[in-house]
A and B are shown apart, each in its own frame.
Chain A
C-alpha cells in the first residue's frame, strides 16, 4: 500500500492567493483528518470526515479555510485568500474507524509545507 498521499509537497504562494492541498487516504480507510503543524501549537486538528461526511470542523481557524471530501479516495483543503500566518505544514491522516483507539490508528501522509509570502 502506498500510504496516505499528499500533494503538493511544497507550496510557495503570495498573500491573497488561493491554495489547494490534496490528499488521497489509504484505500479502505473511512476516516480522514486534516492537521496543521506549527512550532507554537504543535499538531492541531482542523477537520475530520467519516464516510466522506464532515464530522467536526471546529478546528478550522477561519472562514478562509474550507475542506471537501467528494469521494472515499480524495479530499481537499482550500485556503482562500491565503495569509502569511497560514504558513505551516499541513498533514492529512486516515484511519479505519473513528474511535481513535487501538484498532483505529491514524496514518499520516508526508505533509505539505506551505509558505505564504
Chain B
C-alpha cells in the first residue's frame, strides 16, 4: 500500500509560469516531508523540506505547502525555468524509531517549455 502518492505522473508548464506538484499521504504520524529532484541518469538530490509543525517553507523560487488536515503537500515553483525539467519525488519520514526511514512517492515528471 502506497503511503505516499503522487497521482500525476507528468506535468507540463510554460516557462515563467507557476508549476504545482502535488503529493498525498495516508499516515498521519509522518513528521517531516521532503522533495527531491532527479535529472536523467543522475541520482535524486534534495530540494526542500518541511516539518509537520509548519505549513509553509520557502527557498527562493521553491515553496512547499503542507495541509495536515488534508494530508496533502505541494511544491510550487515560481517562475518555472527550463532547467527545472526533471522528475520530482516527495518523501515522508516515519518518526517512530527516529531512524531516518523515508517513504517516497512514485514521482512526477515536470517539463518546462521555453
- Tell me the B60-114 residues at the A interface (CB within 8 Å): 89, 91, 93, 98-107
User: Which of A13-21, A35-43, A64-72, A76-84 is found at the contact surface with chain B?
Assistant: A35-43
What separation, in Å, do the CA atoms of A31 and B99 have in the docked complex?
Answer: 10
Closest to A102 in B: B49
Interface size on B, residues (CB 8 A): 24
Assess the A110–B99 pair: CB atoms within 8 A: no
Assess the A100–B101 pair: CB atoms within 8 A: yes
Chain B residues with CB below 8 A from A44, complex form: 104
Interface size class of A (residues with CB under 8 A): 20 to 34
- Tell me the B11-53 residues at the A interface (CB within 8 Å): 32, 36, 41-46, 49
What separation, in Å, do the CA atoms of A99 and B49 have in the docked complex?
Answer: 14
Task: Say yes or no: A108-B102 contact (C-beta < 8 A), given A43-B89, A43-B107, A100-B32.
Answer: no
Assess the B89–A45 pair: CB atoms within 8 A: no
- Tell me the A95-116 residues at the B interface (CB within 8 Å): 95, 97-102, 104-111
Assess the A39–B106 pair: CB atoms within 8 A: yes
Chain B residues at the A interface, C-beta cutoff of 8 Å: 2, 6, 32, 36, 41-46, 49, 89, 91, 93, 98-107
Chain A residues at the B interface, C-beta cutoff of 8 Å: 4, 31, 35, 39-45, 48, 50, 55-56, 91, 93, 95, 97-102, 104-111
